[in-house]
Structure 1
Amino acid sequence: MSAAADEADEICASCGIPACDDITLKLCTACKSVRYCGIECQRKHRSQHKRACKKRAAELRDEILFRQPEGTHFGDCPICFIPISTGTDEDGNMNTAAHYPCCSKMICKGCIYESALQNTEEKCPFCRTPFPEGADTESMLKKREAANDPHAIRGVAGRFLKEGNFIECFKYMNQAAKGGHIDAHYQLAHMYVNGEGVEQDMKKAFYHWEEAAIGGHHIARFGLGLMEGNLGRHESQVKHLIIAANQGWGAAVEQLKMCYEEGHVSKDEFAAALRAYQRAIDATKSPQREAAKRNPEFLNVKRGNNS
């Protein structure tokens, strides 16, 4: 960085006063490129700074949005430490792992299968808590909710969603999203699109789709790619699809193939995405998971909940 730039960083963008012992300059929270000595100076400078601020803020947002996540929002299984697969069943429900309310852990089906083989008692594969029955299950979930467990709160929202109580669903889904639950952001996006439990707002819907994608939600990422393609913004479309493919989402590969055929992605980019997709798939494999696929009868419905 040049000396001039360093000097600019150390003075108020409005009045020019330098930082010193009794004056602390604060960054513009939107663009993070200029500093102010106080709120009054920031207000005075607003008309001059507005356009550049908006442009830089959008650039910063894109930098975050198009950064490749380390994995998906499912993360790694806490027992085998292997990434949880993005696989789903015919209805689109996750079928490669299950959530346990006792410890709020997402356990892969391979570890559930291995636990079922080794233990006759039905206990959580992670914390070894015996599976609750009926009211005990509800009590356990309420304890997790009271502890502000985002996954438990998301579960409450899901129950209200199934009941068609969109107002309560939105309330809990919003709380879960604020607590960092990535899928809650994804669900909120749909609620804003459809006006379910909240006034329809496409701007907020896109915000939550983007937050979900940033957090590793491969389906949200894929959806953003489709939307960008429909709007004719193919550069952004391809970026989203490549990220989703890198996360092991097969539908993104199919869309990238179409983009390649239409000339929106190069041969080298498509080939690299295919290799990254295969690496992501291979990274989720284990002998236990393959055995679980061959022996689904061991995966009793009481062994956690698909999530």
Structure 2
Amino acid sequence: MSGVVEESDDMMCCASCGIAAVDAVKLKKCTACYLVRYCSHKCPFCRHPSLATEEVRFLMNVKRADANDPAAIFQMGVKCLKEGDYDGAFQYWTKAAGLGDVTAHFNLSLMYHNGEVGKDKKKELHHLEQAAIGGHPTARHNLGCIEGGNGRTDRAVKHWIMASKLGEDAALSSLRSFYSKGFVGKEDFASALRGYQAAVDATKSHQREAAKEFYETSGGE
């Protein structure tokens, strides 16, 4: 196995068995390098630690970013942030957000909140809402905090219930606090607690833990 993209008759082929991509065969990207494609879930690269050096991973990420891959563009922003280049991070994340990257929206909301690019409540809220709509649990929780701070308790609770059901710890803590004060009904709190536990259980698997470990060691945030 070469571990590189192979071509046959101008069609993408499985790097393992050589079968060509057609309507009946959907090739999947390797989650380790994103460059190799396979015809089944049993990608050997996805199931084993990456042997690529940091430099190789960076070059692969640049190639993906040049192809307008939002996840790769987001990681370029992460690299800039680690180097203290806030403007670079802002530029990359703005582009990634424009391509639909949910976490980029969330990070932009933090930059507008903290003031790395100038504080702007309106833009902070916009990016929080976009991230929350895209399923970002912490963004949903933060929206609840904003609503709660503005005295809109009912809206805050709704956001926290949704965030809890996505597995957000802070949202469940906020709900528990409001429940103890009588602002959350027993059934709503019980439903949120069940949803939270289901979300947490759904993320527990050997494959997910291995993917998380790879993501963190390759520079993910």
Q: TM-score range by the shorter chain?
A: 0.7 to 0.9
- Deviation string, structure 1 residues 65-114 (Cα, Å, up to 9, x no partner): xxxxxxxxxxxxx89xxxxxxxxxxxxxxxxxxx74x2189xxxxx9xx9
Aligned to 2:190: 271
Aligned to 2:21: none
How far the C-alpha of 1:246 sits from its partner, in A, is 0.7
Name which of 164, 175, 188 aligns with 1:245.
164
Aligned to 2:67: 147
Aligned to 1:124: 45
Aligned to 2:127: 208
Aligned to 2:7: none
Q: Is the 8 A contact 2:54 2:218 kept in 1?
A: no
- Deviation string, structure 1 residues 24-54 (Cα, Å, up to 9, x no partner): xxxxxxxxxxxxxxxxxxxxxxxxxxxxxxx
Aligned to 2:17: none
Give 3-state SS (helix, strand or coil) of 1:240's partner.
Answer: helix
How far the C-alpha of 1:136 sits from its partner, in A, is 2.4
**Aligned-partner Cα distance in 1 for 2:35–2:159:** 30
Aligned to 1:283: 202
Aligned to 2:141: 222
The CA RMSD over aligned residues, in Å, is 3.2
**Aligned-partner Cα distance in 1 for 2:49–2:173:** 42
Q: Is the 8 A contact 1:183 1:217 kept in 2?
A: yes
When structure 1 is superposed on structure 2, of 175-184 and 260-269 the one drifting more is 260-269
The structure, 1 or 2, with the larger RCO (C-alpha pairs under 8 Å, 6+ apart) is 1
- Deviation string, structure 1 residues 256-301 (Cα, Å, up to 9, x no partner): 1111122211111111111222222222334x369x69xxxxx689
Alignment of 1:11-90 (within 5 A): none
Aligned to 1:103: 34
Q: Is the 8 A contact 2:145 2:156 kept in 1?
A: yes
Name which of 147, 152, 155 aligns with 1:233.
152
Q: Is the 8 A contact 2:50 2:214 kept in 1?
A: no
**Aligned-partner Cα distance in 2 for 1:249–1:204:** 23
Go from structure 1 to structure 2 and tell me whether the alpha carbon gap of 1:131 and 1:303 turns closer, same or farther (over 3 Å shift). farther
How far the C-alpha of 1:181 sits from its partner, in A, is 0.8
Aligned to 1:65: none
How far the C-alpha of 1:135 sits from its partner, in A, is 3.4
> Any stretches of 5+ residues in structure 1 without a counterpart?
1-77, 80-98, 106-110, 116-122, 294-298
How far the C-alpha of 1:131 sits from its partner, in A, is 3.2
2:122 is matched by which residue type in structure 1?
K
Go from structure 1 to structure 2 and tell me whether the alpha carbon gap of 1:207 and 1:301 turns closer, same or farther (over 3 Å shift). closer
Q: Is the 8 A contact 1:245 1:252 kept in 2?
A: yes
> Any stretches of 5+ residues in structure 2 without a counterpart?
1-27
Rg larger in structure: 1
Q: Is the 8 A contact 2:167 2:200 kept in 1?
A: yes
The TM-score, its normalising length taken from structure 2, stands at: 0.73
How far the C-alpha of 1:242 sits from its partner, in A, is 0.2
The TM-score, its normalising length taken from structure 1, stands at: 0.54
Give 3-state SS (helix, strand or coil) of 1:232's partner.
Answer: coil
Q: Is the 8 A contact 2:79 2:219 kept in 1?
A: no
1:174 is matched by which residue type in structure 2?
T
Q: Is the 8 A contact 2:144 2:156 kept in 1?
A: yes
Name which of 102, 111, 116 aligns with 1:191.
111
**Aligned-partner Cα distance in 2 for 1:278–1:135:** 39
Q: Is residue 137 of structure 1 aligned with residue 57 of structure 2?
A: yes
